[in-house]
Structure 1
Amino acid sequence: MMRNKNIKSTVAIVAMLLIFVSCKKDFLELTPRGTTLEDNFYKNETEMMQGVISVYDVMQWGTTGGYTMKMPLLSAASDDCWAGGSSASDQPNWVAYDNFNMSSFVGPQGGLWNKNFSGINRANLILSKIEKSTVLSAGFKSRAVAEAKFLRAYFYFDLVRWFGNVPLILKELTPSELYTQTQSTPAQVYAQIEKDLRDALTGLPPVVSAAEKGRISLGAAKAQLAKVLLFQNDNTKLAEAATLFEDINRVGNPYGYSLVTDYAEIFNPSNKFNSESILEIPHSNNAAWGDWGWINGGEGNVGTQFIGMDSYVGDTYSSGWGFCPVTLDLVNALKNDPRFAATIIDGKALKATGATYNARYQNTDYFIKKYAPLKAYRSTIGTPEQNWPINEIEIRLADTYLMQAEALLRSGGSATRAKELLDAVRARVGLASIPATLDNIYAERRLELATEGHRFFDLVRTGKAVAVLGPLGYKAGKSEYLPIPQTEIDVTKGVIKQNPGY
């Protein structure tokens, strides 16, 4: 991956100053053996590809402006998990999100804003370089443009869901433009996300080779576009979403997707990029990283370290930091479900076998299992806590099954097909058929996708957040969005406006 400490990640400062030019064999993994000034770079397809990889790189980041790893952070914001840690002051930004007590200064917004605009800035740069180049083959150019546009849409999708009104930046900015970027409405941002994803469909291959796992495929772009259409809550878009999902979900689809027979195997680190994985963010320990000042420079998944049991001594698991203990509400919802054992670690059961760990803040004795630190995968090089080679699956087939079932019911589509999709998700784990209602689909999403980072946005978009999260501090008209980072308001002298309620 690209490692560049010189990239400024706010909207106001967007210049990419340096880019590393030496790459290793595996896709998305780079070794910084030298640097080249940006003006002298991008002379050929090899260098241009490294620019594309620099955009992919940002997907891995989870520690820009504090610990803001997407999956555990969103689990803490939902009713799946608490914030945890050693105390309420350990990671106050997490605790503030957990109880919806953020301010313009306190909360995870700084890191999330910086990460996603860093990705957008890199995408804009490489799109500009590709457009100006005269040495690229047509095939290379088409695919590289498609990937950059997909990634720009990916980062904007996170921004619009987290912040609502955000600047819509689609080009490299000149110095005179740095502090003048006004915010666009969510509708305008979503329109651009749709445009970028539709453009991407024409340049992506149906599948990627084994050596390129981690690159975006046509199936991933269709799934992301369908998800974007669904999340806008515009019923006129749902029939198209269902059609896009059907192309991915149908038996014999051209992308090779199928449900993994054993539910637990979806999350086995030895089973990366399995047949159920549609959009997966790779992590490795090849970088042997050890720099606590720039954890994003490595390839590892620090979120894995975050959620492990503190000072754990026992079989199977490695010690972690005790964040994101699972709520008893989720435990009770899953306790009689076949997916419990693959989703949740029962700490009390481990203690009964002789294991020990420290009970930390908000401890429930239940912990996230799907991305837990496993002894077998603890790095022997670099700083182990920074080098967990455990991937993040952002979109998988059971997710798209349930999203299609929802889109069909909400658009007046085939209720029979919706029931087939819901039943398939349940049958995989030995559960009986149930009626295909929206409430049943939403309940199934919680159980099937528990602790994978979907629950919070699902509650918001389905209008259930007040009922479920209200007792935890969630307020309608405010808590749907994070506050805009105060630094952005200050540096633009008020051109960037704060969200309501903050």
Structure 2
Amino acid sequence: MKKRYIQYGALALISTVSVLASCKKSFLELTPKGQSLESNYYQTADQVYAGLVAAYDPLNTQTGGSDNTYSDPLGPLNAASDDCVAGGGSSSDQNTWQAMNDMRLLTPAVGPQGEFWNINFTGVNHANLILSKIVGNNSITGLTTALQSRYIAEAKFLRGHYYFDLVRIFQNVPLILAPLTSSELYTQKQATPDAVYAQVEADLTAAIPNLPTTVVPAEYGRVTQGAAKALLGKVYLYEKKYAQAAAMFADVNGTPGGTSTYGYRLMANYGDIFSPDHKFNSESIFEIERTGTQSYSWGNWNQFKSSVYSQMIGARSYTGPIYWAGWGFNPVTADLATAMKGDPRYGYTIVNIDSLAKANNATYQASYQNTGYFIQKYAPLLKYKAATGTTELNFPNDYIEIRLADTYLMEAEALVQGAGDAGRAAALLNAVRARVGLPAVAATLANIQNERRLELATEGHRWFDLVRWGLAPTVLGTSKHFTAGKNEILPIPLNELNNTVLVQNKGY
């Protein structure tokens, strides 16, 4: 039987870690060095730090289990939207992604819900464990009061982050705030969504004062005040608390088009945002780092801190220049390509492999649901091909989960929805457009929604946006067979229902 999420809490094994050598080091560039039993751990500041890293680690999950599961959230989220289709080798290749592409196939037993559930509850439990060990504990060797406060803040941010994903994906989830004993494993009841959102707000609010405003390069990837405020603003937006959302985003964004108090500013060149040559750039608010220096092979399954997603989305058996041959997942829809034609962001978002192959007398194998269009933002470029290890498992493309243009547009939306400052809403929207040379438009909700699609295309936000705007049934009803009143959330994984008191979501 597969482990359930709650089994990670009471008997956690914590891996100690070291930083890999690279041109730009980060604490998230990790490799396991050994394991220690939880009961003997958390005696020193170094051990607490290793436990904190373990709480961050689920953010970087792209592979899981022994059944060749690819868990990167971008894949199924893009497949569920009108940005992409599932693709791959066939209609059964990565059936979890296929089920998001055609929601008639989504059942408690088939879909990406198991990965979403396990990733996030593993994170919740690691955060709970570190909090249970250090809150109020003044006897840990070498742990200063300042470090203790920061680690607690980071753990609370992470717990809030994981629960925000859980509540917006599943709506009805258990609210677990401490490690569980074995007798409690199967008795966890679902909390109300309001209770979960309240806890997320509480965790993020508590975290903000004790997080640093900036971090040094060796700490890139760790949470800052700006990241926590941006996430809290996003939580408020999902709750339709528009005034609170706008106020929180305003702290993050500063003057539209300028440099905020946290040092954020829009990148002058849109394409540089996604380049491995510009990691943790001025537009990055919360970034999940991938490393291309692990030199890992298939024998390191489930340990990758690289961008396996880059390999997933490359054109199958491609023989031309610029790109490494991938596996053909998440082809871009003709609908998105048409919407972006003439937009300056097109070439940084989409590559027309059909045209490129013809121009270079090259070939590629059409993937399932092939459109000829592929994702450019995370593409497997030859210039980033790893010098050692298995090439397809070692691409260095980061994922910027929250960036400044995103928070600009979310603040503009909150202002328009909440009858706020129309002038500031327009300034935020048009700063995003001006960055790529587009003319100003009125700050209407429709224009903001359209700008979010074009600015953030293929970055994993579109499905969530359509659901929260109530547009998913109209936009996705035909192409993805989205059913209103059902597909706004995913089913509780079948494995989690066995021998528990959990109740399946409506419609599943």
TM-score, normalised relative to structure 1: 0.95
1:308 aligns with 2:303: no
Shift of 1:191: 0.7
The aligned amino acid for 2:33 is: R
Shift of 1:70: 1.4
Instruction: Indicate the residue corresponding to 1:3 in structure 2.
Output: none
The aligned amino acid for 2:204 is: L
1:71 aligns with 2:74: yes
Instruction: Indicate the residue corresponding to 2:108 in structure 1.
Output: 104
The aligned amino acid for 1:238 is: Y
3-state SS in 2 of match to 1:280 = strand
Q: Output the CA distance in 2 between the equivalents of 1:153 and 1:16.
A: 22
**Pairing partner for 1:276 from 278, 283, 286:** 283
The aligned amino acid for 1:90 is: D
Instruction: Indicate the residue corresponding to 2:447 in structure 1.
Output: 440
Shift of 1:36: 2.1
How do 1:74-473 residues align onto structure 2 when only pairs under 5 Å count? 74-101=77-104, 102-131=106-135, 132-135=137-140, 136-233=143-240, 237-251=241-255, 252-291=259-298, 295-353=301-359, 354-471=361-478, 472-473=480-481
Instruction: Indicate the residue corresponding to 1:44 in structure 2.
Output: 44
Q: Output the CA distance in 1 between the equivalents of 2:292 and 2:438.
A: 38
Would you say the 8 A contact 1:466–1:474 is kept in 2?
yes
Gaps of 5+ in 2: 21-25
Deviations 1:136-168 (A, max 9, x none): 211001110010010111111111111110011
Deviations 1:472-497 (A, max 9, x none): 200011001111111110131xx011
Q: Output the CA distance in 2 between the equivalents of 1:445 and 1:18.
A: 41
Shift of 1:38: 1.7
Would you say the 8 A contact 1:466–1:476 is kept in 2?
yes
Shift of 1:127: 0.6
Deviations 1:192-235 (A, max 9, x none): 111100011011011111111000010000000000100123xx
CA RMSD, aligned part only?
1.5
Percent identity of equivalent pairs: 52
Deviations 1:272-302 (A, max 9, x none): 000001010001033322245x633121111
Shift of 1:378: 1.7
Shift of 1:253: 2.0
The aligned amino acid for 1:175 is: S
The aligned amino acid for 2:484 is: A
User: Given the superposition, is the C-alpha separation of residues 209 and 13 from structure 1 closer, same or farther in structure 2, using an over 3 Å criterion?
Assistant: closer
Deviations 1:37-94 (A, max 9, x none): 2211111111111110111111000223522211232111000000001110111221
3-state SS in 1 of match to 2:33 = coil
Shift of 1:317: 0.8
The aligned amino acid for 2:28 is: L
The aligned amino acid for 2:489 is: Y
Instruction: Indicate the residue corresponding to 2:57 in structure 1.
Output: 57
Q: Output the CA distance in 2 between the equivalents of 1:326 and 1:35.
A: 42
Would you say the 8 A contact 1:8–1:16 is kept in 2?
no
Number of residue equivalences: 490
Instruction: Indicate the residue corresponding to 1:20 in structure 2.
Output: 15
Would you say the 8 A contact 1:12–1:179 is kept in 2?
no
Q: Output the CA distance in 1 between the equivalents of 2:450 and 2:491.
A: 29
Would you say the 8 A contact 2:64–2:70 is kept in 1?
yes
Q: Output the CA distance in 2 between the equivalents of 1:87 and 1:463.
A: 31
Instruction: Indicate the residue corresponding to 2:502 in structure 1.
Output: 496
* The 10-residue stretch of structure 1 (70-79 or 8-17) with the greater mean CA deviation from structure 2: 8-17
TM-score, normalised relative to structure 2: 0.94
Would you say the 8 A contact 1:165–1:184 is kept in 2?
yes
Q: Output the CA distance in 2 between the equivalents of 1:497 and 1:36.
A: 36
* The 10-residue stretch of structure 1 (213-222 or 88-97) with the greater mean CA deviation from structure 2: 88-97
* The 10-residue stretch of structure 1 (368-377 or 126-135) with the greater mean CA deviation from structure 2: 126-135
* The 10-residue stretch of structure 1 (352-361 or 127-136) with the greater mean CA deviation from structure 2: 127-136
User: Given the superposition, is the C-alpha separation of residues 22 and 95 from structure 1 closer, same or farther in structure 2, using an over 3 Å criterion?
Assistant: closer
Would you say the 8 A contact 1:13–1:178 is kept in 2?
no
Q: Output the CA distance in 2 between the equivalents of 1:254 and 1:169.
A: 35
Shift of 1:13: 5.2
The aligned amino acid for 2:491 is: P
Deviations 1:247-269 (A, max 9, x none): 11113422110000011111111
Shift of 1:187: 1.1
Shift of 1:347: 1.2
3-state SS in 2 of match to 1:201 = helix
Would you say the 8 A contact 1:164–1:481 is kept in 2?
yes
Instruction: Indicate the residue corresponding to 2:495 in structure 1.
Output: 487
Gaps of 5+ in 1: 1-6
Q: Output the CA distance in 2 between the equivalents of 1:163 and 1:321.
A: 29
The aligned amino acid for 1:67 is: Y
User: Given the superposition, is the C-alpha separation of residues 133 and 318 from structure 1 closer, same or farther in structure 2, using an over 3 Å criterion?
Assistant: farther
* The 10-residue stretch of structure 1 (191-200 or 66-75) with the greater mean CA deviation from structure 2: 66-75
Would you say the 8 A contact 1:9–1:115 is kept in 2?
no
Shift of 1:309: 0.6
Would you say the 8 A contact 1:426–1:433 is kept in 2?
yes
